[in-house]
Amino acid sequence: MYLKNYNLDELKSWCVEQGVEQYRAAQILNAVYTNNLGDFTQIETLPKAFREKLIKTFEMFSIKISKVRKSVDGSVKFLFELHDGKHIEAVYMPWYDDDFDTMERITLCISSMAGCPVECAFCATGTLGLLRNLDSAEIIDQILLVQKELGCEITNIVFMGMGEPLLNYKNVVKSLEIMTAEWGLNLSRRKITLSTVGITNRIKQLHKEIRPVKLALSLHATTDETRGKIIPLAKNLKLSELLSAVEEYYRETKMPVTYEYIPFLGFNDTPADARRLAKILKRVPSRVNIIPFNDISFAMPSGFGKELKPTPKNLILEFGDIIRQNGGRVTIRDTFGQDIEAACGQLALS
Ligand code: SF4
């Protein structure tokens, strides 16, 4: 059993079942999340017999580090092995101020699934299909193991690794509880971003949870027809309904929304696309992150994926300018880790 699948109330109940005082649960979670202790023998505030009970009952970590690749740009890609031999990835990304003097934040991009059932045409992970959902311990341990390995404190989390988080809803919501609770990692929910291709009914549900987080929508196209070509699931998700759900999310949470957009040459990067995108951006306080396409030919994509070509940098800049001229806010992202198999799923596939 993995301890990090338990929240405070569940662990209190377990303690009572063992004939131990409830307050021991808070001591255990404090040792795990605040002190990031690596094994139960180190929790000296607990009686020895109870520590032995914990060792017999729970495993401290649900995943282990299998590979670490460090990039010249400071990012670090981690490959983790799950208990059943499957693999997932996480990427550590340090962000500096303009002078490169001060590190402003450390973001960890984490996975919510091994593989992914959505099978987007531009994504290496999608070529794996769904291997399985991660439980909340496997999601949380990505953060704790990276902190331990690099001796750092992660300040921001993005669910942008392998998997569609809203299709693993229950476990992802529980992991959000652990990330944001005072007894857990105690991160601000404004420092956590959940990136989704847009599972409309789940977006409508997420803002009703106790701790909704920032939402990023992988838009990548501005019409149902083009979106359906690169995100097969989008054929059943009308863009108009999805954008209404995003508006509702903003109304209820007051947190600005991020859109993600990968331009593909001659497919979704025309001036008309830029103008439609600007119109979408103006519906709620938001910005679009334009992300250059990472080549995924190593994954031997089939169907439409084979035809997708990256839009060159100069055309990306022009595309961004048209969005700005039409009132949209734009960030053009540098991709991290070009020298360390940067594409999502690339390390797990290799
Ligand atoms: S982009 Fe995200 S949702 Fe699409 S296949 Fe890849 S991991 Fe899944």
Dump the DSSP string for 180-192: HSTTTT---GGGE
Among the atoms of ligand 1, which is closest to the Cα of residue 123? 6
The yes/no answer on whether domain 3-57 falls in CATH 2.60.320.10 is no
Given ligand 1 and candidates 109, 111, 119, which is best to mutate, with the most ligand atoms within 8 Å of its CB? 119
Residues 6 or more apart whose CB falls under 8 angstroms from that of 274 comprise: 319, 320, 322, 323, 326
Distance of alpha carbon 277 from alpha carbon 22, whole angstroms = 53
pLDDT score at 236: 86
Which of 190, 128, 127, 114 has its CA nearest to residue 158? 190
**Residues 52-77: b if buried by 16+ CB within 10 A, e if exposed:** ebbeeebebbbbebebebebebbbbb
- Going from the Cα of 339 to the center of ligand 1, the distance in angstroms, rounded, reads 21
Given ligand 1 and candidates 88, 110, 116, 199, which is best to mutate, with the most ligand atoms within 8 Å of its CB? 116
| Ramachandran quadrant class, 238 (left: phi over 0; alpha: psi -120 to 50; beta: rest) | beta
Q: Over the stretch 140-171, which tens digit does the pLDDT of each residue have?
A: 999 999 999 999 999 999 999 999 999 999 99
Distance of alpha carbon 289 from alpha carbon 218, whole angstroms = 10
What is the CATH number assigned to the segment(s) 63-349? Answer: 3.20.20.70
DSSP 292: P
pLDDT score at 282: 97
Residue 260 falls in the annotated catalytic set: no
The count of other CB atoms within 10 Å of the CB of residue 30 is: 16
Distance of alpha carbon 88 from alpha carbon 297, whole angstroms = 20
The amino acid sitting at 188 is: S
Domain residue spans of the chain = 3-57, 63-349
Pairing of strands 76-82, 87-96: antiparallel
- Going from the Cα of 119 to the center of ligand 1, the distance in angstroms, rounded, reads 6
- Going from the Cα of 174 to the center of ligand 1, the distance in angstroms, rounded, reads 21
Q: What are phi and psi of 345, to 5 degrees?
A: 95, -5
Residue 152 falls in the annotated catalytic set: no
Exposed / middle / buried, residue 204 (Cβ in 10 Å: 0-12, 13-18, 19+)? middle
Q: Whose CA is nearest to atom 4 of ligand 1?
A: 120
CB 333 within 8 A of CB 292: yes
3-state secondary structure of 2: strand
Distance of alpha carbon 245 from alpha carbon 41, whole angstroms = 48
Instruction: Supply the pTM of this predicted model.
Output: 0.94
Kindly report the three-state secondary structure assignment for every residue of 36-73. CCCCHHHCCCCCHHHHHHHHHHCECCCEEEEEEEECCC
User: Alpha helices of the chain — where are they, by DSSP H?
Assistant: 8-17, 23-29, 48-57, 136-150, 169-180, 200-206, 224-230, 239-253, 271-281, 313-325, 346-349
- Going from the Cα of 7 to the center of ligand 1, the distance in angstroms, rounded, reads 28
Percent of the chain with pLDDT over 90: 82
Sheet holding 257-261, edge to edge: 63-70, 76-82, 87-96, 103-110, 156-159, 192-196, 214-218, 257-261, 286-290, 330-332
Q: Exactly one of 89, 119, 138, 260 is catalytic; name it.
A: 89
**Ligand 1 cavity residues, CB under 6 Å:** 116, 118-120, 123, 125-126, 162-164, 197, 344
Spell out, as residue ranges, where the chain has pLDDT lower than 50: none
pLDDT score at 116: 96
